[in-house]
Amino acid sequence: MTATDARRWPAEGLTRVPYWVYSDPGIYAEEQARIFRGPTWNFLCLEAELPRPHSYRRACDAGRGDARRGRSSARLREPLRPSRSLLVLNQSGEARDIVCVYHNWSYDLCGNLTGVAFRKGLRGKGGMPPDCRPETHGPRKLKLETLAGLVFGTLSAETPPLEGYLGVEIVAGIRRVMRAPVKLLGDYSQTLPSNWKLYMENVKDTYHASLLHTFFTTFRLNRLSQQGGIVVSDSGGHHVSYSLAADSGGKEYEQAGMRAAQEGFGLEAPQLLEAVDEFGDGVGLQILSVFPSFVLQQTRNSLAVRRLMPQGLDKTELVWTCFGFASDDAEMTERRLRQANLIGPAGYISMEDGAAPGFVQRAVATATDILSVVEMGGASVASDDNRVTEAAVRGFWKAYRGYMGL
């Protein structure tokens, strides 16, 4: 009996989430097979991270995959070879072939096994059997697609084409931000003490953003009173949330006595928040997610992708990569670098998002049979013109349950 056979989802459906889903080792193991190695697209890297022929970038943990650029295109392969050793040890670099450090088996950049050390033995003894066929012993090859400079890979032959998987509105949200060739600015990495699903819920939870993040509200970067909304894909798994940069100036937060509303604060360096409307639509914040574990963000003029990698039941690695565009002038690059202080592990906004899921993880582990209530905005998973809703969170669980058979 599998873990999903032994578990039953609450009768209330998407408005209830059982705590055991974050703390059951069997569920976690099945997620790796049904979701991360199943018919989903996983973000690997930006094309800009593969700048030259023979460049490579290790994008995932052992057994998941890495991205490399061959003579004419980016290619994918798993970094785990048949005899158990990692093929790619460095985070990035260039190579014309790949040689395993353990037994010196060698591979070309298409993932084909090209050489086996001492295949014919030594002095007539040992070696591989005469009927050994190296071409049948290469790592599994991943299917690859790119969209607007983003590289995605999948291990499943059943995964639909990328744009069909995303849907028209999510593709439009990606193309809106990824509108020109990218220039890399730097990256952050952090380890979260929580299950990967808690962070993805956090990303999709538009209701919490201006309550948890006091910097957002104090300096009127993001309040629920600002015009905005959410887009949820038909599958439920992907979403876009957005708000206009202009603030109505209402006093709802202050009048309600919310902790998030801080009066009388200022910045020693107010230029931190100086922004330009580079997209021409007045949107100051856009957060976009792709199931299962990718995030694309625009916070004013700070642009970044986030790659989430499960490392265990209650341990997740989060990698942020900040970027601008190759056409940016020095002033815009400086603006993006200043505003990068808003995000990342110690960002004025994002720091709390690294901590809050950890608090939840500690709590759910003590009461696995309790249910979360996910009713803000009702029970719908539909797009809406406001953000006082958990529709995108319910959409995540809609997709999750479909892949997991729960």
Please check whether residues 80 and 150 belong to one and the same domain.
yes
Query: Which pTM value belongs to this model?
Result: 0.88
The predicted pLDDT at position 250 comes to 58
What's the mean pLDDT in 143-162? Answer: 95
The predicted pLDDT at position 246 comes to 65
CA distance 155 to 142: 5
Please check whether residues 190 and 337 belong to one and the same domain.
yes
β-strand 182-192 against 150-154: which pairing, if any? unpaired
Q: Considering only the C-alpha atoms of the chain, give the largest distance between any 2 of them, rounded to a whole number of Å.
A: 87
The predicted pLDDT at position 245 comes to 79
Residue ranges of E strands in 213-314:
228-232, 239-244, 283-290, 294-299, 302-312
Peptide bond before 292: cis, by omega within 30 degrees of 0?
A: yes
Which of 155, 178, 204 is a domain's end point? 155
CA distance 342 to 95: 36
Which of 117, 135, 155 is a domain's end point? 155
CA distance 53 to 158: 29
The predicted pLDDT at position 327 comes to 97
91-115 pLDDT, tens digit per residue, is: 788 888 888 888 888 888 777 888 8
The predicted pLDDT at position 85 comes to 55
Higher pLDDT, 107 or 66: 107
Residue ranges of E strands in 70-127:
74-77, 92-94, 98-99, 106-107, 113-115
The predicted pLDDT at position 76 comes to 44
Check: CB of residue 19 under 8 Å from CB of residue 364: yes
Predicted confidence (pLDDT) at residue 382 exceeds the cutoff of 60: yes
The predicted pLDDT at position 103 comes to 84
The predicted pLDDT at position 133 comes to 82
Check: CB of residue 40 under 8 Å from CB of residue 32: no
> Running DSSP on this structure, what letter comes out for residue 78?
-
Residue 23 counted as domain residue:
no
Check: CB of residue 87 under 8 Å from CB of residue 70: no
The predicted pLDDT at position 58 comes to 77
The predicted pLDDT at position 165 comes to 98
Distance between first and last Cα of the chain: 14
What's the mean pLDDT in 362-387? Answer: 93
Predicted confidence (pLDDT) at residue 265 exceeds the cutoff of 80: no
Predicted confidence (pLDDT) at residue 320 exceeds the cutoff of 90: yes
Calculate the CA dihedral of residues 300, 304, 309, 310 and round it to 10 degrees.
-10
Please check whether residues 246 and 135 belong to one and the same domain.
no
Q: pLDDT category, 71, cuts 50, 70, 90?
A: very low
> What are the φ/ψ torsions at residue 388 (nearest 5 degrees)?
-90, 60
Domain CATH number, residue 134: 2.102.10.10
Please check whether residues 141 and 239 belong to one and the same domain.
no
197-245 pLDDT, tens digit per residue, is: 999 999 999 877 777 767 767 766 767 677 889 999 999 999 999 988 7
Proportion of the chain above pLDDT 90, given as a percent: 56
The predicted pLDDT at position 130 comes to 86
Higher pLDDT, 109 or 71: 109
The predicted pLDDT at position 324 comes to 98
Predicted confidence (pLDDT) at residue 70 exceeds the cutoff of 50: no
Check: CB of residue 98 under 8 Å from CB of residue 58: no
Residue 34 counted as domain residue:
no
Please check whether residues 149 and 175 belong to one and the same domain.
no
- Residue 77's DSSP bridge partners are 66
Check: CB of residue 111 under 8 Å from CB of residue 77: yes
Please check whether residues 277 and 320 belong to one and the same domain.
yes
What's the mean pLDDT in 12-34? Answer: 96
User: What long-range pairs does 276-280 form, CB within 8 A, spacing at least 24?
Assistant: 276/301, 276/332, 276/335, 277/245, 278/332, 279/176, 279/177, 279/179
CA 126 vs CA 40, 137, 405: distances in Å: 43, 19, 48
Which of 155, 187, 216 is a domain's end point? 155
Please check whether residues 194 and 244 belong to one and the same domain.
yes
The predicted pLDDT at position 248 comes to 54
356-367 pLDDT, tens digit per residue, is: 899 999 999 999
Predicted confidence (pLDDT) at residue 181 exceeds the cutoff of 80: yes
Q: What's the whole-number average pLDDT of the chain?
A: 86
Q: Which domain holds residue 65?
A: 41-155
Range of lowest pLDDT (25-34, 85-94, 101-110, 140-149): 85-94
Please check whether residues 129 and 229 belong to one and the same domain.
no
The predicted pLDDT at position 251 comes to 60
The predicted pLDDT at position 266 comes to 75
The predicted pLDDT at position 215 comes to 74
Q: pLDDT category, 60, cuts 50, 70, 90?
A: low
Number of domains into which the chain is organized: 2
Domain CATH number, residue 319: 3.90.380.10
Proportion of the chain above pLDDT 70, given as a percent: 87
Check: CB of residue 227 under 8 Å from CB of residue 243: yes
Residue 203 counted as domain residue:
yes
The predicted pLDDT at position 298 comes to 96
